[in-house]
Structure formats: structure tokens, C-alpha cells
Structure 1
């Protein structure tokens, strides 16, 4: 049977990415899962009958290699949906292989680079780009694209908020640039999900995710995966609207005012392109 659609999910070795993959298994779609852990990613692929690739977003070189591998695998067919779901929160002074703030690179620059490198494959199928953001995008009161990722934040949560704000700005910038060519984009808060998120940092975020109080207020990874799968299986323009930010499956007005600034979105796009070696 020829697969009806090709869906790529990053951050698929655990959490809502793995949950979404399990929900999508058996639909007749071609699933390509991307994760950092070879063992975990291979196991989710085995459970779902999916293909899988390995990449660590702390390395932009690995992101470029991943894009090349994906382009080779889907040659002649294209990509119907790309889920930019990989992400995390790290210590405020943790640096990537490329010498950048680790949270900024893993959560923003890596998916920015991957999406841009895969635009020909997405355009071939009038594809969709779904980016997992967070309600934490409302935390920042300012964002300077010229220094983002290069200067330390006061806290890990502040760094995470900046990267999640960048996700929303990137989604709107992507919509402005390529929606006319058939590519749709949305960013969403998946809910506060009971996963191992926050384990790589210290302070209140780690405490909250590990506490009984925190667990009682969270949704399960399966529920978060359902929210991601809803976008991946939906129809842009019917199920959801391109260029928008959603709280789980609902469009919301609870958006950081900075995310509504087209000049900031453009500056961020240009600075991000420069940081990863792309033409703006």
C-alpha cells in the first residue's frame, strides 16, 4: 500500500512526540521519527512501524545531516507534515557544540534550520509545519535578536521563555514568507505535560515537574500527544489556521504582545538565518 502522507516528528523518542507517533501508527501514513537517543527512538519506531533517524540538536552539523537524510528518503514524494517537537530546558549557562545557549539552539535555531532546509520537500506537498511552543512564551518582556543565544539569561526559565517566544515569531514569519507557496504553519502550547521535562535544569522548574502537586495539575503525555496529532492529521484552513498560536487545540488571545510585532519577527528571522548560515 502506498502511504497517503509522509509525517516527520522530531523529539519522538519520548513524551508527546512518542505518544503522537503511537496515535498515528496504523493510519497508512509514512512516519519518520527523529530522536536523540538511538535506543529509545528505535523502540518507538519498532512499536509504531515507523522509520527513524538520530540527531542531537545541540549540534547544527547534525541538524544539517538530518535534513540531508530526510531529503534523500523522501526524494520524489515530499513531506506533508513536519512536527518541530524536539526541545527542552537546560541550565542558563549550558552551551551547545556551536557555542550558543543550549536552550536557544535546541528549541529555536535547530528547528529553524531544519525547516528551512526542508522547504523544497514541504512545498512539494503543500505541507504543514507544527512547532511545539509553550505558554512560557509569555514570560519575556523583551527579546533582542542581536544578542539572543549569545548572552546568559538570569534563569533557565527565562531562557526557555525566550526560545518559546521565538517559536511563535518563527511560525508567523514562516507563514508570511511561504504560505503563498502552499506551506502552512502553526505553533501550540501542548498543555503542561507530565514527562521528564525540566530534569536537565535546577530550581523551581525541576521541583514543579517532580512534585506531587505538579503532577496533579498536569495532563498525560498521551493527552499532549493527542494535541500534537490533531494538528498533524488536520487540514490547514479548515482544522486550524496558518500563522496562529494555539493553547492546546484552541486559538487564544493570551499571547505575548511581542509575538504580534512583525518587525521583531523579521529581525529574528534574519538574525537566526545568519546564526545558522542561511540566506535571510
Structure 2
């Protein structure tokens, strides 16, 4: 199951999976691109299913999780790629900053929500594609960039939240079969989906032209899916394993974030 599966790394991985005989369940917001992938899979050894869902809304993510868990009682792997960048701060209908909602909350809800189907698979793994190991400080008093918003800082800080999500998930479920992997793809020519001012758009276009193709990221992802690492939590920059004993993966910080997130979600539910 791949979120953000209609573009960039997600789409490249989906094509490889159904081309070799696997079933790829693709979650995204673009029906045209999703249907194109399903059509390509029709002549492949495997298959593809497209699910349209806007995961920036907690309610949509929860509905998608329930649907996936009901439709697929066993899931071998979950690859979390969905993101949408914005030059200017945006708030969802539920009141969350958009990066925080899509890049962090949806990945948290997918990780925990699909735990049941994952535990029924042989060697299950969650791969969170979020750029682990960056030394951006977590603004504990401004997790959703209310006081000051900057696109690059918001993306890096939300990536740090995903690092801490992995730490907490491994602490809670490390005794079970599901492995959690934080994965950094490096600079890659993805779709750079987002809403940008002209200057940022021009810069990203330049970056895209110089970056490696998304297909170059498929091999290290397949290695993680086919042969998940033994420890409950690992982090990789492509094929290179990162040190998780650094302060960036602090268990204390992970617990703090988990408590704050639980409060936010409880407030929304209330």
C-alpha cells in the first residue's frame, strides 16, 4: 500500500511492484493518474488498485484506513510518500496546518491504523519516506508554524516529527512482527506537488532538472520491502544506514510528541 502513489517515487515503486507480480494499492488524489496506473497494470503479471483520498483531513485518513483494513486482511508493506508543499501557510478544514496534517498526522494514523493487517503478513514493514536525520530543531511551542511559516523549515521540522513517530511506534510495537523504517530518498526528481510562489516554483524546477530520477529510488525501497531489517526501527539514506543513537531520535522527545499528538486528536474527536 502506497500513499502518494500516483506521482514520483510512489508511482515508480507501484509500477515496479505490479510489473513483477505484486498487488499495489495506490492511494492518491489524482484519479486520472491513478486510473493510468491501473490500466498499465492490466497487462502486467501483478495488479494495481487506486483509492482516491485526500489524506490531509484526519476524517478521510481514518475512513481510508478502515476501508483498507476491511478490504485487505493482510498487508505486506506500507510505504508512506504523500506530501504537498506550500509557499504560504495553509490550514485544513479541521484546523491543522497542512504540512502537519498530511506529512505527519496521516502517516501516524496509517501506521497505527493498519497495524492489524500488517501483523497478519509474513514479514511486514512500514517505510516512512520522510528524510530522517535532519538536525532541524523541533519548535515545541509552535509545531504547526503559527508564529512564523517558512516552507523549507516547515517540511524539515515535520520530517523530524516523523523520526519521532518511528521511535514511538518501535517502542510500542517493537516486540511484534512489524518493522518500522525511516527512509531518506535524497534529492529526487519527483512531481514536487504543491502550491508555490513564482520564485519557489522556478527554484524547484531547477532542482528537478538536476536531481536523480524517481526510478533510482526503487531499488533501495524494494530491498526494505523484500527483506525488512531485523531491528524494530531503522533509518536509511538510500542504502546507507543511519545512527539511531543520536539525540535526533530521542525517546524523551518522542514521548513528548506522542502526548501532544494524542491531545490534538482527542480534541478533534471531541
**Residue in 2 aligned with 1:50?**
48
CA root-mean-square deviation:
2.4
Task: Supply the distance in 1 between the matched residues of 2:210 and 2:163 (Cα, whole angstroms).
Answer: 24
Instruction: Write the distance in 1 (CA, Å) between the matches of 2:266 and 2:176.
Output: 23
Q: Deviations over 1:156-203 (max 9, x none)?
A: 111101111111111121111112021110111112111221642337
Aligned to 1:29: 22
Q: Distance in 2 between matches of 1:152 and 1:232?
A: 39
After superposing on structure 2, the runs of 4+ consecutive aligned residues of structure 1 that deviate more than 6 Å are none
Take 1:270 and 1:54, find their aligned partners in 2: how far apart are those partners?
30
Residue in structure 1 matching 2:139, options 134, 137, 143: 143
Residue 64 of structure 2, aligned match among 47, 63, 66:
66
Counterpart of 1:51 in 2: which secondary structure? strand
Aligned residue number for residue 236 of structure 2: 246
Aligned residues: 262
Match of 2:128 among 131, 149, 162: 131
1:221 is the counterpart of 2:214: yes
The verdict on how the C-alpha distance between 1:224 and 1:152 changes in structure 2, with shifts beyond 3 A counting, is farther
Provide closer, same or farther for how the CA distance between residues 19 and 165 of structure 1 changes in structure 2, counting only shifts above 3 A: same
Query: Secondary structure of 1:181's partner?
Result: coil
Equivalent-residue separation in structure 2 for 1:258 and 1:105 (angstroms): 25
Where do 5+ consecutive residues of structure 1 fail to align? 1-7
Q: Which runs of 5+ in 2 are unaligned?
A: 42-46
CA displacement, residues 235-260 of structure 1 (integer Å, 9 cap, x when unaligned):
332xxx4412211121134x895522
Q: Which moved more, 1:194-203 or 1:167-176?
A: 194-203
Alpha-carbon distance in structure 2 between the residues aligned to 1:210 and 1:222: 18
Contact kept in structure 2, 1:184 and 1:243, CA below 8 Å: yes
Q: What TM-score, normalized to structure 1?
A: 0.84
**91 and 42 in structure 1: CA distance in 2 versus 1, 3 angstrom threshold:** same
